[in-house]
Amino acid sequence: MNYYQVKYRDLTVNYTPVLDGGGMTFGQQYLEVIRRKLGRVGHVFEYCAGPGFIGFSILANGLCDKLTLADVNPEAVKAVKATIAENRLEDRVTVYQSDCLDHIPTTEKWDLVVSNPPHFDGEQHDYQAAIRLVDPGWEIHRKFYRDIKKYLNPGASVIFQENAQATSSEDFAPMIRENGLQLVEVFRTDGQGHAARPDKRGSGTVARLVRETVRETMLPIEKALMNSRIERLLKDNDVYRKLSMLPIFTPRHLYFMWSKAQTA
Ligand SMILES: C[S@@+](CC[C@H](N)C(=O)[O-])C[C@H]1O[C@@H](n2cnc3c(N)ncnc32)[C@H](O)[C@@H]1O
């Protein structure tokens, strides 16, 4: 397989444009978030990892010692395996093909979980057409929060990157609390990873209506682009990559949800 490649310091990550769900661009905000909120951690897990842009970049920047990744898409797992082999990371990086956490052994124990998961609610048929985008009935989030505790070291953090045009933190807060995690903070960044104004858009009828409208127009557009030649042309391109890293083009509608396992 001839992969496209992006470099994080001395680590080369293999991918194809259709596996990129934003981790190469806005997902890189995690670096500053981790530096500011946690500092270096031991073992990181990237959930819904795709090619692992976020996890590999955290590793390459010396912010963790070990990395585990998982995705349901076998093509994403193949790309990750190619990255592990090419960079000789067999002793530090593990990948699982797994529907949510279903096929990950509980011998895995993590200090930090990161994820840019599918951000839009939808029907099963939307999910089949667009597994990068759609979480039908929030099943991928719900199952994650239901099962994650047994993989967490005491005091471990879970930080998800979410999309305020599709959700508010209130969609996920009950899942966090019901499963014995503590919600630490919901925050936006200014595009560079610096904490910005907190997420205040969660509640209210107007906010909900705006979100519904945006979601109903965005999802069909994104679905139409997905896997198309237009998407490949757009993303297979250094100009795209550079522009989408500039703060001015970085989506402002992303937010992070930080939760924590209880300390022992
Ligand atoms: C928004 S994309 C993010 C990809 C990559 N992390 C990035 O940031 O570019 C969401 C990812 O979730 C994966 N996914 C969808 N359903 C899943 C499931 N049931 N279990 C695990 N991963 C899933 C998709 O294959 C896709 O790679």
Task: Name, in order, each residue with C-beta under 8 angstroms of 2's C-beta and a sequence gap of 6 or more.
Answer: none
pLDDT, residue 250, reads 66
Top mutation candidate among 131, 162, 245 for ligand 1, by most atoms within 8 Å of CB: 131
CA 256 to each of CA 23, 195, 250: distance values in angstroms, whole numbers, following the listed order: 14, 10, 15
pLDDT, residue 199, reads 47
What is the residue with the minimal CA distance to atom 26 of ligand 1? 132
pLDDT, residue 205, reads 76
Ligand 1 center from residue 15 Cα (angstroms): 13
Atom of ligand 1 nearest to the CA of 73: 25
pLDDT, residue 132, reads 92
Distance between CA atoms of residues 29 and 193, nearest Å: 5
Contact 223, 137 (CB under 8 A): no
Per-residue pLDDT of the chain (264 residues; tens, 9 = 90+): 889 999 999 999 999 988 999 999 899 999 999 999 999 999 999 999 999 999 999 999 999 999 999 999 999 999 999 999 999 999 999 999 999 999 999 999 999 999 999 999 989 988 988 899 999 999 999 999 999 999 999 999 999 999 988 899 999 999 999 999 999 999 987 655 455 554 444 556 776 777 777 767 777 877 777 777 777 777 777 777 777 767 666 666 889 999 998 766
pLDDT, residue 235, reads 73
Atom of ligand 1 nearest to the CA of 22: 9
Of residues 84, 77, 66, the one with CA closest to residue 11: 84
Ligand 1 center from residue 264 Cα (angstroms): 31
Residue entry with tokens 């190619």: 82
pTM score, two decimals?
0.91
CA 47 to each of CA 44, 110, 115: distance values in angstroms, whole numbers, following the listed order: 10, 12, 5
| Count of beta carbons in the 10 Å neighbourhood of residue 250 | 18
What single letter denotes the amino acid at residue 155? Answer: G
Which residues form ligand 1's pocket by a CB distance below 6 Å? 20-23, 27, 48-50, 53-54, 71-73, 76, 99-100, 116-118, 131-132, 140
